[in-house]
Amino acid sequence: MNPNKKNLQIIIHIAVWTGFLLLPFISFSGPKEMPFNPERKLQLLFFITNLFLIGFYYLHALVLIPKLLAERKIVLYVCSILALLLLFILIPFVYFQFVEIPGPRFVQNMPPPVRHRSPGRPGMRRLFPFTFPGSIMMFLLILVISGGIKIINQWLSSEQRTKEIEKEKISTELALLRSQVNPHFLFNTLNNIYSLAVTNSPDTAKSVMKLSGIMRYILDDAKSNFVALDKEIQFLENYISLQKVRLTEKSVINFTIDGITKDKQIAPLLLIAFVENAFKYGISTHQPSVIDIQLKVTDNHLSFMVGNQKFPNNQVSPDNTGIGLSNTKRRLELIYHNKHSLLAENKENAFLITLILDLV
C-alpha cells in the first residue's frame, strides 16, 4: 500500500475513534427523567463500553475474520462472537459492583416503583432497562461495520493483486515479443548485406551504415514501451533504403507520410512487420512489382497502409503471414487493446493491410 494512503487511513481511524470515545462527554441520550449532562461516573461507563467496542472492531477485523471465518471455522467464530457479546453485556454489571451511580435528585427522593424492585444497587436498577437494548444494537452495528469493511478491503486488495499480476504478465510477454522481433529482423537484414558483399556491390558500405542506424534504434530506443513516432518512421526509412539496394529497376517502392508526426508516440518496432512482409512476398525478380506504404496522422489517430502485389511463387494468406505479423498482432492486442483495428485483405492480385490505432 502507498505510504501516504496508509498514513491517511491511520489518521481517519484515529479521528473517528477519538470522536467515538468523546461522544459520552459531548452528548448523552438516556431516559426522559435523566438530566442532559449525566454524572461523571455514568460518563465513565459509556467511555469504557465504547473502548471495548473499539477493541472488538479490530479483534473482529484482524483476528476473527482472517483466522476463523476465512478458514471456515464457523462454529469457533460464532462461539467467539457470542462470548464477546456476553462479556460486553457483563461490563455494566461488573461496573456497578464497584461504582455507585446516583440518580437525579428528584428521582432519589421518590420511592422506586414496585416493578423495578430487584436485588442490586439503585443505580443499576435505573440504568439497566435503557442501556442494555441499545448496547446490543451498538455491538451488532460494530460487528457488521468491521466485517463489511474487512471484506471490502480484502476484495479490493484481491482485485489490485489480480491487476498487478496481469500487468506483470503483460510486461513479461511484451519483453519476450520484443526479444523475438530483433533476431528475426536482423537475420533477414544480414542476409541482404551478405548478398551485396558476395557480389562486391559498392553499396555494401552504405548498407552497413544503414544497419548501424537500425541497430542503434533497436538497442537504445526500442527498449522503451513507447518511442517518438518520428524515430519509428526514420527506422522504417532506413529499412526501406536497405531493401532497395538489392532490388532491380523493376521494383518500385512508394513511402508517403501525411500529417503532423511531431510529439506523437508509438510502441517501438510495431510497423516493421507489415513492411517486411510486403518485401518478402511482394517482390519479383522477373516481373514489375510495386509496394505502396502510406502513413497518415490525423489528430491522435494513425493510419498505416501497406499494399503489395501477389506473385504465383510468393503466395501468402492472412492466416499464414509468418512470425513477424503474428508477433505484431499479439503486441497490438496487449498494448492497444480496444484502441486499434487491423484489416488484412487478401485479394486476387494484391495483399493489403490497414492498421488504425490511437497514438499516445
Of the candidate ranges 5-14, 204-213, 255-264, 274-283, the one whose mean pLDDT is the lowest: 5-14
**DSSP 3-state assignment of 202?**
coil
Region for residue 72 given its phi and psi (left: phi exceeds 0; alpha: psi -120 to 50; beta: otherwise): left
pLDDT digits (tens, 9 = 90+) for 260-289: 999 999 988 889 889 988 988 888 878 889
Q: Mind giving me the DSSP string for 27-41?
A: -----TTS-SS--HH
Counting every residue written for the chain, the total comes to: 360
Cell triple for residue 39? 454524572
Mean pLDDT of the chain: 76
The pLDDT of residue 303 is 96
Span 330-348, average pLDDT: 88
Higher pLDDT, 14 or 20: 14
Say yes or no to pLDDT of 312 above 70: no
pLDDT band, very low/low/confident/very high, at 126 (cuts 50, 70, 90): very low
pLDDT band, very low/low/confident/very high, at 193 (cuts 50, 70, 90): confident
pLDDT band, very low/low/confident/very high, at 169 (cuts 50, 70, 90): low
Cell triple for residue 206? 552504405
Which distant-in-sequence residues (6+ apart) come within 8 Å of 314 by Cβ? 280, 281, 282, 283, 284
The pLDDT of residue 190 is 81
- pTM (2 d.p.): 0.54
Which distant-in-sequence residues (6+ apart) come within 8 Å of 175 by Cβ? none
User: Which domains are present in the chain?
Assistant: 3-165 (no CATH), 248-358 (3.30.565.10)
pLDDT band, very low/low/confident/very high, at 341 (cuts 50, 70, 90): very high
The pLDDT of residue 338 is 87
pLDDT band, very low/low/confident/very high, at 357 (cuts 50, 70, 90): very high
Say yes or no to pLDDT of 329 above 50: yes
Which distant-in-sequence residues (6+ apart) come within 8 Å of 109 by Cβ? none
Q: Considering only CA atoms, which of 240, 245, 279, 280 is closest in space to residue 257?
A: 240
The two counts, helices (H) then strands (E), for the chain are: 9, 7
Span 148-173, average pLDDT: 72
Calculate ∠ Cα 269-271-274, nearest 5°.
125
